Amino acid sequence: MNVPALIEKMLVLFFAMAAGFVCGKRGWLDDTANRTISRLVVMLTNPMLALSSVMGKERLMSNRQVLALTGISFALILSCMLLSRVVVRLSHAEDADRGLLRFLFSFCNISYIGYPVVQSLFGMDASFYVTVLVLCSQLIMWSYGIHLVSGQFRWQWSILKNHCLIASSTAYIIYLTGLKVPNALASACSFLGQTTSPLIMLITGSALALMPLKNVFTNGRLYAMYAIKLVVLPVCAYFLLRNVLSDGLLLGVIITFLCIPSATNATNIAYLYGGNHELASSGVMLSTLLSMVTMPLLMHVLFG
């Protein structure tokens, strides 16, 4: 297991966020610019990232295996969401922030750092496991996840028009049907999609520059929540699942998924749908910093 490569990936992520922080302090990125970039990510780059995850990739699993993995992925994400209700309720957070805290606990940054992290730990063969997790996460994140962040808990059919949701569903269909996509189109989607992670980390860092840093490092509720999310949950899941799952690679990917910091889309969605973007940015930054220590340590202890 290549733990140094994992640490390198986490440092790159942090560097991008630090660059956004500098841009915010210098006035190169402000609140208006962050909202504009967030809209660009939702409307263009994130959908391209979802589509590129299945374009031009070799099929390594049968449709039956894909459907089984899909069921496991949904069960994993929904379990995190159910646990988040208990954890956030015990934190006695303000009612207005509970939905956002549940989002930060339930959804991880699998879309942007899942691939390099899993590939560095388990090799290229593990990539499609990540793809399915990404698709399932996107489907829930851009539907019910929006309701959590915005505080609007009723279903709206307009959500089905969300570009990220449409792209994730299309990517899943492309894989199941074995549809061949022209290489030029696959390359174009990948080229645009790869800008998603840097853009989101930039606006996350910029948002932090516009708020007092003490709000990030003095929020006791976030520390308590991430102690459970980044340490307790992965360890408990490992000992619970290691005698249940016969696929060691699947077990490794699941535990890695649980160790990954909060989804950077929390900031993105908060900007677009009226959530507390300061708390979202604080959670993303703090979880990223903490995971730079917890993730390599747990991977080494559990799988080393």
pLDDT tens digit string along 189-246?
A: 989 988 887 888 888 788 778 777 776 777 888 999 999 999 999 999 999 998 888 8
Whether 163 shows a pLDDT value over 70: the answer reads: yes
Residues 85 and 232 sit within 8 Å (Cβ to Cβ)? no
- Please, which residues have CB within 8 angstroms of residue 140's CB and are 6 or more apart in sequence? 74, 77, 78, 81, 107
Q: CA–CA separation, 50 vs 55, rounded Å?
A: 9
Mean pLDDT over 280-293 rounds to: 86
181 or 268, greater pLDDT: 181
Q: CA–CA separation, 283 vs 86, rounded Å?
A: 18
Which range (51-55, 111-115, 127-131, 230-234) has the least confidence? 111-115
Which pTM was predicted?
A: 0.79
Name the residue type at position 209: A
Q: How many CB atoms lie within 10 A of CB 118?
A: 25
Three-class secondary structure of residue 71 per DSSP:
helix
Q: What is the pLDDT of residues 59-109, one digit of tens each?
A: 767 788 888 889 999 999 999 999 999 999 988 888 888 889 999 999 998
In order of 15, 126, 173, 205, 210, the CA distances from 216 in angstroms are 17, 34, 40, 12, 12
H-only helix segments in the chain = 3-26, 31-40, 46-52, 63-91, 95-106, 110-122, 127-141, 144-150, 163-177, 183-193, 196-209, 214-217, 220-227, 233-241, 248-259, 265-273, 277-303
The whole-angstrom distance between residue 51's C-alpha and the CA centroid of its chain comes to 16
Q: CA–CA separation, 221 vs 233, rounded Å?
A: 17
Residue 179 confidence (pLDDT): 86
Residues 230 and 261 sit within 8 Å (Cβ to Cβ)? yes
| Residue that is written with structure tokens 């996840």 in the block | 145
105 or 136, greater pLDDT: 105
Tokens of 218: 């003095």
Residue 76 confidence (pLDDT): 92
